[in-house]
């Protein structure tokens, strides 16, 4: 056994995801600015404070009638830490999103793995596209956790063994499972975020219900919370008009 293998980090297990808003230029005034630029020009940014009722009315009108482009003149960059299976779903969102993910070629992947938390419903019933999830029994939680942790440990040991034998990281990583945590920067605007939220959250205000996997929904909920603080009028209008991206 080489020195590297001897100091291989011990696997750790997480049942949460993290989302940090690392940079943003996003406010309700940006929507007004874009919508009114033809008549009011730069003054439109001041109007939010001067006439909030009118501003709310304009944002509601744009949302209701699906005039989408004024919601694109803003930017939010999130640092997301979540399992690879979440990223696989996330990266399907192509329009208005930019991604940069940590590399498994240039750095050794750290052994942080996903296990379901106690509140994660484990049992699936119903038909494809409209599953219902129910709480698992304590035995099912134990079975899932024990099986996942054993599998993760074995996979990571195989990864480390290959690295110790001089196999390239980009080859050795093939044995690592989709429960491994990864991290990425994801940059979007309010319009692309609303489209993402409409598909990746389950909310009774939605006129078109969606049934996302819980783990990507955990990411989506954290993003929504941070976006709502930046753009409260736009967020309220999104909810008011059925959580459909304009």
**Which positions lie near ligand FAD, rule CB under 6 A?**
92-95, 195, 199-200, 210-212
How far apart are alpha carbons 80 and 183 in whole angstroms?
Answer: 5
Closest separation between CB of residue 85 and ligand FAD, Å? 12
Closest separation between CB of residue 204 and ligand FAD, Å? 16
Nearer to ligand FAD, 173 or 200 (CB): 200
Closest residue to ligand FAD: CB criterion: 94
Closest separation between CB of residue 39 and ligand FAD, Å? 29
Nearer to ligand FAD, 36 or 195 (CB): 195
Closest separation between CB of residue 211 and ligand FAD, Å? 5
Could you say which of 200, 205, 214, 243 is catalytic?
200
Closest separation between CB of residue 126 and ligand FAD, Å? 13
Closest separation between CB of residue 93 and ligand FAD, Å? 4
Count of other CB atoms within 10 angstroms of residue 111: 21
Nearer to ligand FAD, 78 or 156 (CB): 78
The tokens describing 138, both together, are: 């304590």
Q: Tell me how far CA of residue 195 lies from CA of 206, 221, 224, in angstroms.
A: 12, 13, 12
Concatenating the DSSP letter of every residue in the chain gives --HHHHTPPPPEEES--EEEEEEEE--HHHHHHHHHTTTTGGGHHHHHHH-HHHHHHHHHHHHHTT--GGGGS-EEEEEEEEEHHHHHHHTT--TTEEEEE--TTTSPPP-EEE---TTS--EEEEETTEEEEEPPPHHHHHHHHHHHHHHHHHHHHHHHHHHHTT--HHHHGGG--TTBEEEEEEEE-HHHHHHHHHHH---TT-SS-----HHHHHHHHHHHHHHHHH-HHHHHHHHHTTS---
| 64 flagged as catalytic | no
How far apart are alpha carbons 222 and 235 in whole angstroms?
Answer: 14
Nearer to ligand FAD, 75 or 145 (CB): 75
Nearer to ligand FAD, 129 or 166 (CB): 129
Active site (catalytic) residues? 200
């Amino acid at each position: 056994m080489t020195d590297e293998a001897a100091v291989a980090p011990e696997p750790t297990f997480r049942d949460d995801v993290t989302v940090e808003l690392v940079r943003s230029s996003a406010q309700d005034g940006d929507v007004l600015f874009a919508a009114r630029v033809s008549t009011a020009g730069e003054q439109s940014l001041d109007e939010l404070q001067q006439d909030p009722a009118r501003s709310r009315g304009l944002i509601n009108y744009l949302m209701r009638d699906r005039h989408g482009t004024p919601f694109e003149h803003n930017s939010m960059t999130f640092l997301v830490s979540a399992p690879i299976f979440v990223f696989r779903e996330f990266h399907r969102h192509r329009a208005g999103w930019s991604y940069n993910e940590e590399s498994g070629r240039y750095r050794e992947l750290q052994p942080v793995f996903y296990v379901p938390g106690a509140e994660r419903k484990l049992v699936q019933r119903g038909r494809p596209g409209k599953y219902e999830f129910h709480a698992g029994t304590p035995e099912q939680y134990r079975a899932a956790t024990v099986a996942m942790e054993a599998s993760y440990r074995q996979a990571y040991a195989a990864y480390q063994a290959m690295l110790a034998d001089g196999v390239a990281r980009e080859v050795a990583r093939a044995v690592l499972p989709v429960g491994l945590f990864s991290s990425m920067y994801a940059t979007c605007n309010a319009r692309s975020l609303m489209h993402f939220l409409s598909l990746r959250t389950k909310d009774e205000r939605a006129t078109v219900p969606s049934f996302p996997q819980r783990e990507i929904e955990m990411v989506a909920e954290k993003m929504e919370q941070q976006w709502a603080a930046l753009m409260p009028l736009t967020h309220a209008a999104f909810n008011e008009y059925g959580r459909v991206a304009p």
